[in-house]
Structure 1
Amino acid sequence: MRKQLFPLALGGLAIGTTEFVIMGLLPDVAHDIGITIPVAGHLISAYAFGVVIGAPILVALSAKFPPKNILIAFMVIFTLFNFLSTIAPDYATLMMARFLSGLPHGAFFGVGTVVAAKLAKEGKSAQAIATMFTGLTIANLAMVPLVTYIGHHYHWRYAFGIVSLLGILTILFLFRNLPQQKALRTVTFKEELEFFKTIKAWHILTIVAIGFGGLFAWFSYIAPLLIHVSGFEASSVSYLMMVAGAGMVVGNILGGYLADKKNPIKVAIALLIAMVISLVCVFFLSEFKIISVALTFVCGALAVSIGAPINMVMLQSAKHSAMLGAAFLQAAFNVANSLGAFFGGIPLFFDFNYAYPSLVGAFMALIGVILCTLFLKQYHTKEA
């Protein structure tokens, strides 16, 4: 990994850890501050809402400044409000801290995507973007399980303390390793917004919101799937989640490589088709333990591998609105998270078993394939 890109990956590690660690600590948080687990679940929604709100607003307010300064400012905000989570005395304060710590999430990746592409060697922009998201995948592989263990066996507040330390390290490495660049905005904010008045922009965002929703329909219910359908002990789930995390690391690298070699929208189509097939296999074959473990790895890999190609599609399409487009993509990913969890949960409401969310996910990914195919035919994306 190039040292110039390392601070972006480290920031991704910190962001990925705080986004996902709360899910494993909900019972601990609920017990400690005297609320129910469903109410504690609103802390997840508060963070996601912060991402959706913060991505376009912070990019709009900061784009006229040098990107190095912007990224440091975003991580200062991130670190400050994650630290507030460690000392929050009550539920209301913790909710506010989670919302505010989510604000710089999408903006950091939005600016970081453009910075990574500009720092990349010729023909390796997608791989540079994938390098930034390596931190996010390693968070799922190792950091989230580790921090969840610490938070569960010692105190949940330590988890956010560790995230705050990662934020401080990111700030230091941004200051030390990231080169100074000119402000990324080349047009006015009003001119940037012109792209988002087009069908093309919302076509890309819809691909993410629905196609990636297929991932979250499966991933949101992976623990009960592994326990109640595959027959694993509950104590094994954390290790199986690491299998999914390992797949995400591999898939992230693969997606970046393919997007630099081929037309990124065609790569996205191929990977989404593979996801449809894999999720259908999850539905039919999860009762077999060995196959279930293999599919956990494969689905994790395929899900994340689409990230770099779709980011390249946005960068190539948005042109003068690239940074804002990348930020909006992060908001769309969080919409996908919500939609996938919601639609994936519908069969469970009617007492179907935990394999059915993956079938819903396959259908959502299939819609993503159709949308990508229509995009290719409509806009005649050139070969990379």
Structure 2
Amino acid sequence: MWALALGGFGIGTTEFVAMGLLPEIAASVGVSEPTAGHVVSAYAAGVVVGAPLIATIAARVPRRTLLVALMVAFTLGNAATVLAPNYGLLVASRFVAGLPHGAYFGVAALVAAHLAGPGRRAQAVALVMTGLSVANVVGVPAASWLGMALGWRSAFVLVAVIGAATVAALAAWVPSLSIPTTSVRIELGALKSARVWLTLATAVIGFGGVFAVYTYISTTLTDVAGVPKSLVPVALMLFGLGMVAGNMVGGRLADRAVVPAVFATVTALAVLLAVFVAAAHNPYTAFLLVFGLGMGCAAVGPALQVRLMDVAEDAQTLAASLHHAAFNLANAFGAWIGGVVIAAGLGYTAPAAVGVVLALAGVAVFAVSIRGRDWIRS
């Protein structure tokens, strides 16, 4: 389990560290900060493409072998980011680095749920996702500090080292498991379910607002809240601590009742985004709400993950992987819409205002996906 979480730690570090280093990346490759935000979107796009593609093609591959192969690809993709000589190749390298992300988390979630058994599935998934959360407490602030001190490329050197360590840990500690493999036909069968698509849409729309804010959090804190640049890594650490807390709370809520947990956590996210619009103008309240947004974001995850596994029936690998594809499509969508409203001159609090609308829309979409028996099962 901890070997699986180490992979999540590396993935979480590479996914979020670019957001805190956008000003440095933009200056280095000679583009504006909103344009540099496409680096974040490219990684997310890689997750969106790679999750269903790899989960489907590799349906018959033993889970341990697949996990190791995915982390090898992840390590090589991040090494390519370090060596990228210009903006175009940088964007391409981030896309490649994102390809194994969703499939890794999807397979890791299945392994965790298999080991935990009924009644503790969401908490097991949350434990694997703890690596992603801890990345925002330790990995992202450390990589951000390293990137600011030695140049942004050094942050991705650190990520590549974590990836290599994960490969070794998975090979040494993860045993062969009796999780049945499926087939391309069975996995693709999940795409026929309207409830699968609506649950994915809930994730994309509901999460989008958080990433609209977080992508540009560095400039929001320095220019709006008046936070010294040196304290931006502290804010990233607070976001990670919020994610750790959110994972714990979200996992317990989802094991009690999945459907009510989705409604409660996405609605709470809308409230937090609304408060952030005003809170961003003060350094103390801004830091508090950064913690809150991290908690709200992570709390939604376990419930949506288990919900997807339930509605996909036999197509477990694809469903689990699609959750992370949706999460990162929200990342790409949020980074894009945040850049649009900022470029339009609406200011750095505008992404949070848009995020409120998106989160409430996510609640509405999820409501459409519910049937009467879903409440009984939950």
**Could you tell me the TM-score, scaled by structure 1's length?**
0.90
Aligned residue number for residue 77 of structure 2: 81
**Amino acid across the alignment from 2:152:** W
Of residues 274-283 and 19-28 in structure 1, the stretch that sits farther from structure 2 once superposed is 19-28
Aligned residue number for residue 123 of structure 1: 119
Mapped pair 1:351 → 2:345: yes
Aligned residue number for residue 361 of structure 1: 355
2:234 & 2:167 partners in 1: Cα distance?
A: 31
Is contact 1:64–1:183 with CA below 8 Å preserved after alignment? no
Q: Secondary structure at the match of 1:63?
A: coil
Q: Secondary structure at the match of 1:354?
A: coil
Aligned residue number for residue 110 of structure 1: 106
Is contact 2:19–2:215 with CA below 8 Å preserved after alignment? no
1:98 & 1:75 partners in 2: Cα distance?
A: 15
From 55, 61, 68, the equivalent of 1:65 is 61
1:124 & 1:154 partners in 2: Cα distance?
A: 43
Distance 1:294 1:151, change over 3 A: closer
Distance 1:368 1:239, change over 3 A: same
Aligned residue number for residue 273 of structure 1: 267
Distance 1:256 1:49, change over 3 A: same
Deviations 1:207-251 (A, max 9, x none): 011011122233233333333433333333221222122111111
From 111, 132, 139, the equivalent of 2:135 is 139
Aligned residue number for residue 341 of structure 1: 335
Q: CA RMSD in A?
A: 2.2
Which protein has greater RCO, CA pairs closer than 8 Å, 6+ apart? 2
Aligned residue number for residue 238 of structure 2: 243
CA positional deviation for 1:380: 2.6
Is contact 2:58–2:66 with CA below 8 Å preserved after alignment? yes
CA positional deviation for 1:343: 3.1
From 326, 329, 334, the equivalent of 1:332 is 326
CA positional deviation for 1:108: 0.5
Unaligned runs of 5+ residues in structure 1 are none
From 221, 225, 246, the equivalent of 1:226 is 221
Aligned residue number for residue 185 of structure 1: 181
Q: How does 1:143-162 map to 2 (within 5 A)?
A: 143-162=139-158
Q: How does 1:243-262 map to 2 (within 5 A)?
A: 243-260=238-255, 262=256
CA positional deviation for 1:170: 0.9
CA positional deviation for 1:29: 4.5
2:267 & 2:169 partners in 1: Cα distance?
A: 39
Deviations 1:151-203 (A, max 9, x none): 232243332222122112111211222121145433x3123212212211111
Deviations 1:98-121 (A, max 9, x none): 222211111101111111110115
Deviations 1:249-273 (A, max 9, x none): 111111111111x221210101112
CA positional deviation for 1:83: 2.2
Is contact 1:196–1:202 with CA below 8 Å preserved after alignment? yes
Of residues 80-89 and 263-272 in structure 1, the stretch that sits farther from structure 2 once superposed is 80-89
From 182, 188, 196, the equivalent of 2:191 is 196
Of residues 110-119 and 193-202 in structure 1, the stretch that sits farther from structure 2 once superposed is 193-202
Is contact 2:338–2:351 with CA below 8 Å preserved after alignment? yes
Distance 1:259 1:68, change over 3 A: same
Is contact 1:214–1:365 with CA below 8 Å preserved after alignment? yes
**Could you tell me the TM-score, scaled by structure 2's length?**
0.92
Is contact 2:20–2:215 with CA below 8 Å preserved after alignment? no
